[in-house]
Structure formats: structure tokens, C-alpha cells
Amino acid sequence: MAPTAERLGRILLVLAGFLAIALLPASSASAGPPATRVAYATGEIVPIPASVPHEEGDMVDRRIVPDLRWIAAHFPIYVTDGYSGPLPDGEHVGCHMCHVKGSDHYNGLAVDVVPLRGTIGKCDPTWAGITRLAEWAEPTQNHPVAPFRWVGYDGDAGHGCGNHLHLSWGHAAAPMFQLAEWVEVFAVSGEAGRRSRHQRPKRGKTPPAPPPGPAGGISTFRSGGISARGD
């Protein structure tokens, strides 16, 4: 019996469904890290290690340092800015007045990167590695993959090939110049066993309270909502 147009249509639909399922893992395989976790460890603004090429004096929250190390080992990055704000001793680090209101740079949970040994101010092949990193962190515009919460590159004003790539890590809301209660990070080698996404510490385990920071310096803040972007 010859299949009717309706039956043919149904068969095609089923085939399309199988194809979609078969192709899905392949198309998303290169996007973002395979697993993330929420780090409740006490934050601290620390110098970026030498293994992550960076501008002299740049600092970040220590909880994103393992991720930065991994990124630097896989992509040719040069960090031009991390934490921007005062330290407990009153010294100011990072680019002053460079970032938007609510920027994650004010919490030490964002970095701006350009190519290591690349052309600054011009989009040329030296940016290929940074473009690859941007696409890994945000395969579709405005849909960053965890743990990234905002990725600024092509399509975002003041960012992009030839300018810079901004990467923000997801974190608990925190006011300017305060450390976030938690930060979402991705698992890097040496953290084997922590494979699940959004793994949280066991209930009842409270993170140790940080010492109170002096006025004007960075200290820990616990709370709720978060701004839309953090460039």
C-alpha cells in the first residue's frame, strides 16, 4: 500500500526528531566547560598568577583563578583588567572609571582579555584564539554558557574582535567593591569527581565568616538579585 501524504509527513517528522537528537550533542560539544560548581569558599582579591599572562598589577577574586589558569592554557589570552576598585589598604587596582555601573569588575569576578601577542585596535587573524574563546563561552549571542553570566564580544558595543573580550562569572549579587557570597566556576583538572552542574555544598555547612574589611576595602556580601550585564 502506497503511503499517504499524511503518513509520509509523519515519517519525516519522526526522522527529523531522530536527526535533531543525533546532532544535538555534536553541535554543543565544543561549547563551554562540561561541568560547573558553585564555590562558597571565602573570596579574596589576589594577584593574577604568572601562568595567566596579564597586565602588571591586575588582580581577581581567587575563586576564579583556577578557571583563568585553564583558559590561559587553552587560549592565547592576555588579561588587561580584572578587579577594579580599592583594596583594604586603600590602594586602587585595575582600570579606574572604565566599567559600567554594576560591573562584575568591581567584585573581581570579570576579566577583559585581548590576544597574547596580538594586534590591538584591529581585528586581524591574531584574534582567532580570542574569537574561539568567545564562541566557546557564548555560542549564541546573549546566551552565555555556565559559569559565564555575561560575555562581551562581537555584537556588544565597545567589545569584540580588535577591541577586547569580556568574561563575567556567575555570582551572588554583591554591591560595588564587595566579595560575592558564592561564585559559579567550572571544574578543572585536579578537581576530579565534581562533575555535576550546579553542585552545591551540603546543607547546614556554612562557609567561614570572613574578617570584617576596613571601610573602603573589599569585603564579603551575602544576598539576592543581580544586574543584567557586567562589562
Question: Is the CB of 166 or the CB of 171 nearer to Zn ion?
Answer: 166
Question: Is the CB of 138 or the CB of 231 nearer to Zn ion?
Answer: 231
Q: Which of 58, 61, 67, 112 binds Zn ion (CB under 5 A)?
A: 112
- The site for Zn ion, by CB under 5 A, has a size of 3
State residue 151 phi and psi, 5-degree precision: -125, 120
Task: Tell me the one-letter amino acid at 216.
Answer: G
Q: How far is the CB of 198 from Zn ion (least distance, A)?
A: 25
Question: Is the CB of 68 or the CB of 187 nearer to Zn ion?
Answer: 68
Burial label for 7, CB within 10 Å (0-12, 13-18, 19+), is exposed
Q: How far is the CB of 61 from Zn ion (least distance, A)?
A: 14
Q: How far is the CB of 168 from Zn ion (least distance, A)?
A: 8
What strand order describes the sheet that includes 148-152?
77-81, 110-115, 165-169, 148-152
Asked if 116 and 76 touch (Cβ cutoff 8 Å), the reply is: yes
- Site membership for Zn ion, residue 61 (CB under 5 A): no
Q: How far is the CB of 158 from Zn ion (least distance, A)?
A: 9
- Site membership for Zn ion, residue 159 (CB under 5 A): no
Question: Is the CB of 184 or the CB of 231 nearer to Zn ion?
Answer: 231
User: Which residues, at least 6 apart from 123, have a Cβ–Cβ distance to it below 8 Å?
Assistant: 160, 161, 162
- Site membership for Zn ion, residue 104 (CB under 5 A): no
Question: Is the CB of 80 or the CB of 178 nearer to Zn ion?
Answer: 80
The one segment of 16-24, 50-58, 161-169, 191-199 that binds Zn ion by CB under 5 A: 161-169
Q: How far is the C-alpha of 196 from the C-alpha of 186, rounded, in Å? A: 10
* Cell output for 152: 562581551
Q: Which of 166, 172, 182, 184 binds Zn ion (CB under 5 A)?
A: 166
- In this structure, is the dihedral angle defined by the CA atoms of residues 136, 138, 140 and 146, taken in order, positive or negative? positive
Q: Which of 138, 156, 181, 231 binds Zn ion (CB under 5 A)?
A: 231
Q: Is 192 in a helix, a strand, or coil? A: coil
| Distance in Å from the first CA to the final CA of the chain | 63
- Site membership for Zn ion, residue 58 (CB under 5 A): no
The residue ranges that bind Zn ion (CB under 5 A) are 112, 166, 231
